[in-house]
Amino acid sequence: NLISISLSCFFLSLYFLLNNMIYFIEWEVVSLNSMSIVMTFLFDWMSLLFMSFVLMIASLVIFYSKEYMESDENINRFIMLVLMFVLSMMLLIISPNLISILLGWDGLGLVSYCLVIYFQNVKSYNAGMLTALSNRIGDVAFLLAIAWMLNYGSWNYIFYLEVMQNEFEMLVIGSL
């Protein structure tokens, strides 16, 4: 089933590329008085192509794990962890908002930790701790980017790519 979705995303990405299409979807999650929480999703050829690769790899992991881990009595837990990893990766891919990217990144970190310690022994616990600590470095970078984006008034980085590119070029030129 994941393979068919992967192929659909692949051909859809080609269609988006050939027709120069981009879909920017906003979903209002909560609206309370004058405050609203909005989730935004960006579908373009590149995000669809990345999603097709992620889905293809996940489908192969699930396919081969069914035979490789057939004697494991908790294989359903492993497959659910792989699917949660894929969902977190999808959120990371299609989010043009730094807050939702941070949620996807932390979801990847948590599920990665759970996958690394799946076979519960001392070596996997140590590797899991290394995974969690490495993920915290990415968290710090995302939090710094979120604080930097406060200067622009929105965490949707897609609106400020041109401005940020000019600032980055000035930063590089200034450091020379």
**pLDDT tens per residue across span 51-84:** 999 999 999 999 998 888 888 888 889 999 999 9
pLDDT tens string 150-165: 777 777 777 776 666 6
Asked if 97 and 41 touch (Cβ cutoff 8 Å), the reply is: no
- Any idea what DSSP says for residue 36? E
Q: What pTM was computed for the model?
A: 0.82
For the cut 80, the answer to whether the pLDDT of residue 174 exceeds it is no
Rounded to whole angstroms, the Cα distance separating 77 from 79 reads 6
Average pLDDT, the chain: 87
